[in-house]
Amino acid sequence: MTAGTAPPSPPPSGAPTAGATRQWRGVVAEYADRLPPEVGTGTVVTLREGGTPLIHSQGLSQRTGCDVWLKFEGTNPTGSFKDRGMTTAISAAVTAGARALICASTGNTAASAAAYAAKAGLTCGVLVPRGKVALGKLAQALVHGATVLQIDGGFDAALSMCRSLDESEAVELVNSVNPYRIEGQKTLAFEVCESLGRAPDVHVMPVGNAGNITAVWRGYHEEHAAGRTAGLPVLRGYQAAGAAPIVRDQSVENPCTIATAIRIGNPASWGPAIAAAEESGGSIRAVTDRAILSAYRLAAAQEGVFCEMASAASIAGLLELADAGELTAGETVVCTLTGHGLKDPDWAIAGAATPPVIAADVDTAAQRLGLRDVA
């Protein structure tokens, strides 16, 4: 070594220095004791997902007579609940020696898989329905370096192709048919119980490929079985009316809804989703696109929460339950808002007037903002 040259510093460990204040560690580290050992004992691929806010809604509480809370999953690292299951699925895949990942997606799974694959140094292939993926989600998959293929067909065809590739090729499928995805996603229920100090009476959520309702039910069940909560919630799942195979009890060939994230005609977790709803004493029903759009606007304009269209199906469902007199006054209700509205700003802009252009003049601005009497 040349005199005066500092020795190379050791590679950064990622460990906090003494005196650092606490940071949420991600769902694998936070819930290691409640996840399969394969997930937490090897390499953990995390972007510190989970730890999302449970936001009280005064407006929806007043409207429904219940105590309504919004679990906003849009604050996850890639902007949706998928990150909870992706950290577990990809950690298990890396520990098992996988080099390549694949998934079918309406957008969010692709965005999440691409980000975690980038973090882990794996290749990622995603198959999406042509022309039916929100631009923000496509941008995420691309910027994280995934290979994106648009399928001339819907999500169901894309998932079927991925299942075949999983069998024939050396690739790890990270859709929610991967058991580690469900394991990670159940942590949402853990957080809700910890935030409330109990299980809610009712939990409302959108249903697409039906993995999430399956996962959340498992989470509540485990909390209850471990004696951490006294009760179990009633689960209320909502599909979009034009993409409601579970409600109609038959697969839908050409699903159609503005909520592209849940535009699915043949959900992979169909059976487990029905079991979850029934065991909980709840239901899976459909809400119209009109009701979803109105709930989407309400969430943004009255609650300050910009969620994506599919997420608003839970608020639309809540309002429908309230209008039908199916909620009991004073019940604690949680709605999952599954993803962030920024992923698909087109709908937000489409519903608003174009902002006027004015001269760079304070008086004009004050007048146009209604801050001064015009007279």
Nearer to ligand F0G, 42 or 242 (CB): 242
* Stretch of residues binding ligand F0G (CB under 6 A), selected from 102-110, 240-248, 282-290, 297-305: 102-110
Tell me the C-alpha distance between 208 and 107, whole Å: 12
Task: Return the SS3 of 207.
Answer: coil
Answer for which of 77, 129, 184, 208 binds ligand F0G (CB under 6 A) is 208
Give me the 51-80 binding string for ligand F0G, x by CB under 6 A, dash otherwise.
-----------------------------x
The β-bridge relationship of strands 67-72 and 54-57 is: antiparallel
Nearer to ligand F0G, 212 or 266 (CB): 212
- The reply on whether position 129 binds ligand F0G by CB under 6 A is no
Nearer to ligand F0G, 308 or 320 (CB): 308
- The reply on whether position 109 binds ligand F0G by CB under 6 A is yes
Nearer to ligand F0G, 283 or 338 (CB): 338
Tell me how far, at minimum, the Cβ of 310 lies from ligand F0G, in Å: 4
Nearer to ligand F0G, 120 or 141 (CB): 141
Nearer to ligand F0G, 82 or 236 (CB): 82
Q: For residues 328-357, which are near ligand F0G according to CB under 6 A? A: 338-339
Answer for which of 46, 106, 266, 332 binds ligand F0G (CB under 6 A) is 106
Helix (H) or strand (E) holding 148: strand 147-151
Task: Return the SS3 of 374.
Answer: coil
Tell me the C-alpha distance between 210 and 74, whole Å: 19
Beta strands in 15-116 (DSSP E): 54-57, 67-72, 100-104
Tell me how far, at minimum, the Cβ of 108 lies from ligand F0G, in Å: 3
Angle between helical axes of 108-120 and 135-143 (0-180°, round to 10): 10
Nearer to ligand F0G, 284 or 327 (CB): 284
DSSP 3-state percent helix, strand, coil across the chain (nearest 5): 45, 15, 40
Nearer to ligand F0G, 67 or 238 (CB): 238
Burial class (CB in 10 A: 0-12, 13-18, 19+), 28: buried
Task: Return the SS3 of 357.
Answer: coil
* Stretch of residues binding ligand F0G (CB under 6 A), selected from 200-208, 278-286, 298-306, 346-354: 200-208
Tell me how far, at minimum, the Cβ of 185 lies from ligand F0G, in Å: 7
Tell me the C-alpha distance between 140 and 4, whole Å: 45
Contact 128, 262 (CB under 8 A): no
Tell me the C-alpha distance between 20 and 91, whole Å: 26
What residue type is 116 in one-letter code? Y
* Stretch of residues binding ligand F0G (CB under 6 A), selected from 20-28, 35-43, 105-113, 351-359: 105-113
Tell me how far, at minimum, the Cβ of 115 lies from ligand F0G, in Å: 13
Nearer to ligand F0G, 207 or 295 (CB): 207
- The reply on whether position 283 binds ligand F0G by CB under 6 A is no
How many C-alpha atoms does 29 have within 13 Å on its Cβ side? 14
Q: For residues 290-309, which are near ligand F0G according to CB under 6 A? A: 308
Residue 284's nearest CA partner among 360, 214, 375, 355 is: 214
Tell me the C-alpha distance between 108 and 339, whole Å: 8
- The reply on whether position 311 binds ligand F0G by CB under 6 A is yes
Residues that bind ligand F0G (CB under 6 A): 80, 82, 105-109, 176, 206-212, 261-262, 308, 310-311, 338-339
